[in-house]
Chains A and B, each alone.
Chain A
Amino acid sequence: MPDTIITLPQHASVSTMAAIRVECLAALKRATPGSSIIMDASQVQHADSSLAQLLVALRNEAVSRGIQMSLKGKDEGAFLHALTSSDAGSSCTVTRSVAKPGMHGGAA
């Protein structure tokens, strides 16, 4: 099953988020359970928390459909922490929220 690769732009902020969302929705539409969506963040030089919430939304939806999602070019956890200025070690170990390290409240 072919993977879908979405290449994120150098500047991934609010102004570019609508376009990225459209690409992500298209990728989800094409993807089948067991396939992968790869977000290529290797070219990203500037991003903000709007990208973080989009990645969370994408991951939640992908997981619920049995689609794998991964981030290329960056460590996903560290990337999300950087985007939101949160702590790498701030995850609570006993809660049910297991979206990704440090991001709380996402669906399991």
Chain B
Amino acid sequence: MNDKLIETFLDEAHELLDGLEDQLLNLEKNPTDVEAMNAAFRALHSIKGSASMFGFEAVGSFAHEVEAALDHFRSSSMPSTPELADAVLRSRDHIRALLDAPETASTEEQEDLVATLAALAGKSRLPEAERPIITIPKSIETFPSPDFRTFRIRYKPSADAYRRGVKPESLIRELRDLGEASVRCECASVPPLSELDPEACYLSWDVLLTTSMPAGTVKDIFIFEEGTSGVTIDEISQDEILEGDEVRRLGDILSRRQLPGASIEAALSRQRPIGEILINDLGTPPAVVEDALFEQQHARTIVQAAREESERKTIRIRSDKLDGLLNLVGELVTVQAQLSQTVKDSNDRHLHGISDYVKRLAGELRATSMELRLIPVDSLFAKFKRLVRDLSKNLGREMELRLEGGDTEIDKSVIEVLNDPLVHLVRNAADHGLESAADRERDGKPRCGTITLKAQHAGAFVRISVSDDGHGLNRDKILKKAIDRGIVPADSRPSDDEIDMLIFKPGFSTADVVSSVSGRGVGLDVVKTAIDQLGGAITVKSQLGKGTEFSLDIPLTLAIIDGFLVRSGTRMFVIPLSSVDSCFERVRQKDPERLIQRGKEFIPYVSSRDLFGEDETPPDREEVVIVSVFDSRLAIGFDQVLGGYQTVIKPIGEIARYAVGVSGAAVLADGGVALILDVAALARAYKEHG
């Protein structure tokens, strides 16, 4: 078997397993969620089918057992049970183990699961009377997208339409051009031939149109028919014909047509097509059923069209190939900078033109390459649903996870690095932040605690926050612990913010009991170090009795930045452009002040020569760059500002850990090296040490 095919299968299987987990967690919350049940079943079915095809027989046969249990519930229209969701979640983990490392997958676990699933499939059928009624969830996702709307257009040309020169079929064709249309022509009014006026129009049209166009555009097509022919244009809710991205069953569509529920239930109980029974046996007007069928057919058409469109637009690329592409783009950016530098002194206008063109192309290529690497943070957040669910079970505490800003996009390399710090913070929130249900109730809070994961853009940074509505940080306890451990002097009187930041000190933990969830000696200092290494910052805000929020400010990308090239003595530095507020030139002060005034604001000042050292005699003038990161601003004096500079970030590894204020290096056009300043770290260092 082709290795690439197997790799593709494994990638897809993992995606399906992630989707399955998501649906099972939805089912746990809402056991009557039909769409979640169907989606979970489809995921398992796909895994089963492709696993067998690619030689993963063990996965295929095990998935078959799981599928059978799910199908039993699904086909019997029974809601999920906690036992079913739990067993299928465990099965999902087992399938993952079978895929990733079959030799380590536990056979005992598999046997136990097979037995559990068989029991669920065989014994869970409820007597008819006890079966809860499954309700369709109200919050059905619009499809194909919120920008698309579906209109029902009924057009009955006047009898003299042909004589007026109207071509009704041409108007219908114009409608078709607006989007995905289903059209049926009604000819019930056509009289016998002997009575037919050949120049009179007896036909009418019924059109379902899904389009991104506004109602006005649809209406405009019939502008010359207004007042003479019958035209009705109604927008119909996508919910009426679609359930998520699936076509509704005829019974569902009919149930929204004010038919007696008893009629539909009676029809469903007979083994014949529902429409046929409703018309022939129950006297439902054929037009009602025809309308529903027409809508169902239209829904199928747009679902199919959307799927085909999606397949046309999406290709799967290995992430290391994207990394390779970005490296090449990085080299190109460097070479382009060298070219620009070389051409600068030339009088050849043609050469200048080529250089400018290369610069523009390199810029566009860089932007496109960066976009390719952007992934919605949802892909990271989704994993935490399971984590919180498991933590809730392990800790015996009621808690729920709320996700916000999942569509915020970040470079994939950032997402990869963020996983561990976030796991740590969420575990901490569950274990140390949230109280027990009884304690919460006593304090007048809902029994169920909430952990919120939120992402939002802030310039060239993304802010990810982990918050809980628990008891908040106990500052007295933190300070006492810090004093006991010698982290701060016994007589110190730190501010609230300073006390909060103590929790990031190495080895600091206020947990009284070391649990399996957190507090295993690995403290928040590990999280802080990881975030620092990303060039980001972590802060904490807490309110006693209300909760705690950790904010992680992370650069959007770790690969290429738009920088501001500056010189200090013989050394070159690059400041991320997104951090630069302004700059100005002034006479160098012999005894520089610690604060400079800009307008009404006083900003801390530091000379680059003091920060990084320099033996060479300084020039008489200096250029001050004011940088800003989140709430902090800092003025840094340099010898010279050389201007904007796009650069590839080259990691400098372990050294960076000990070089405060430096996050990487960049190769300059002349082959020299510039250090990339970590402005956030500089601002923090200045704040802490002055």
Interface residues of A (CB under 8 A from B): 14, 17-18, 20-21, 24-25, 28, 48-50, 52-54, 56-58, 60-61, 64, 80, 83-87, 89-97, 99, 102-106
Contact = CB atoms under 8 A, between A and B. Distances in A.
A92 to B, nearest CB: 4
Task: List 4 A-B pairs, minimum CB-CB distance, nearest first.
Answer: A105-B188, A94-B275, A17-B198, A84-B185
B194 A25 contact: yes
Contacts of B183: 84-87, 90
B286 A97 contact: yes
B288 to A, nearest CB: 10
A99 B186 CA distance: 11
Contacts of B182: 87, 90
Contacts, number: 130
A57 B197 CA distance: 11
Contacts of B190: 53, 56-57, 60, 105-106
A58 B187 CA distance: 12
> Is the interface on chain B under 10, 10 to 19, 20 to 34, or 35 or more residues?
35 or more
Contacts of A93: 273, 275, 293
Interface stretch (B167-175, B339-347, B580-588): B167-175
B176 interface: yes
A102 B182 CA distance: 11
A14 B205 CA distance: 18
A58 B191 CA distance: 10
Nearest to A91: B184
Contacts of A21: 193, 196, 198
Contacts of B162: 14, 50
Contacts of B167: 48-49
B294 A90 contact: yes
Q: Which of B192, B205, B289 lies at the interface centre, i.e. has the most chain A CB atoms within 10 A of its CB?
A: B192
Contacts of A28: 193
A16 to B, nearest CB: 9
Nearest to B168: A49
A104 B196 contact: no
Contact of A83 (B169, B198, B275): B169
B290 interface: yes
A71 to B, nearest CB: 15
B111 interface: no
B89 interface: no
A85 B172 contact: yes
Contacts of B173: 85
A99 B185 CA distance: 12
A100 B553 CA distance: 66
A68 B168 CA distance: 29
B202 interface: yes
Contact of B293 (A25, A60, A94, A103): A94
Contacts of A91: 184
